[in-house]
Homo-oligomer: A and B are copies of this chain.
Amino acid sequence: MKKNILVIPGDGIGPEVTTWGKAALEKIAEIFGHEFVFDEALMGHAAIEVTGEPLPDETLEKARKSDAILFGAIGHAKYDNDPSLKVRPEQGLLKIRKELGLFANLRPILLFDELLEASSIKAEILRGTDILFFRELTGDVYFGEKNRSEDRNTASDLMIYHRYEVERIAHKAYQAAQQRSKRLCSVDKANVLESSRLWRETVQEIAKQYPDVETEHMFIDNAAMQLIKNPKKFDVVLTANLFGDILTDEASQIAGSMGMLASASVGESTGFFEPIHGSAHDIAGKDLANPLASILSAALMLEIGFGLKEEAKLLVDTIDQVLKEGFRTHDIADQTTNRFKVLGTAEMGKLVMK
Contacts of A258 in B (CB 8 A): 225
Q: How far is the CA of A147 from the CA of B195 in the complex (A)?
A: 8
Q: How many copies does the complex hold?
A: 2
Q: Is the CB of A201 within 8 A of B83?
A: yes
A146 within 8 A of B: yes
A214 within 8 A of B: no
Q: How far is the CA of A220 from the CA of B156 in the complex (A)?
A: 17
A335 within 8 A of B: no
**Most interface-central of A160, A189, A242 (chain B CB within 10 A):** A242
A125 within 8 A of B: yes
Residue of B nearest to A161 (CB): B155
A245 within 8 A of B: yes
Q: Is the CB of A194 within 8 A of B225?
A: no
- A138-180: which residues lie under 8 A (CB-CB) from chain B? 141-142, 144, 146-148, 152-164
Contact of A148 among B80, B194, B204 (CB under 8 A): B194
Residue of B nearest to A191 (CB): B90
User: What 1/0 flags go to A172-198 for Cβ under 8 Å of B?
Assistant: 000000000000000001111111111
| A142-B192 contact given A161-B155, A229-B120, CB 8 Å threshold | yes
A228 within 8 A of B: yes
Minimum distance in angstroms from A11 CB to a CB of chain B: 12
A287 within 8 A of B: no
- A104-138: which residues lie under 8 A (CB-CB) from chain B? 120-122, 125
Contact of A200 among B83, B192, B194, B249 (CB under 8 A): B83
Q: How far is the CA of A195 from the CA of B242 in the complex (A)?
A: 14
Q: Is the CB of B94 within 8 A of A192?
A: yes
Q: Is the CB of B153 within 8 A of A160?
A: no
Q: Is the CB of A197 within 8 A of B228?
A: no
A246 within 8 A of B: yes
Contact of A249 among B141, B142, B190, B222 (CB under 8 A): B222
- A232-277: which residues lie under 8 A (CB-CB) from chain B? 242, 245-250, 252-253, 258
Contact of A160 among B156, B224, B250 (CB under 8 A): B156
A122-B122, A142-B192, A225-B258 are known; give 15 further A-B pairs, CB within 8 A.
A80-B190, A83-B197, A83-B198, A89-B191, A90-B191, A120-B230, A121-B121, A141-B159, A141-B193, A144-B156, A148-B194, A153-B164, A155-B197, A156-B194, A157-B193
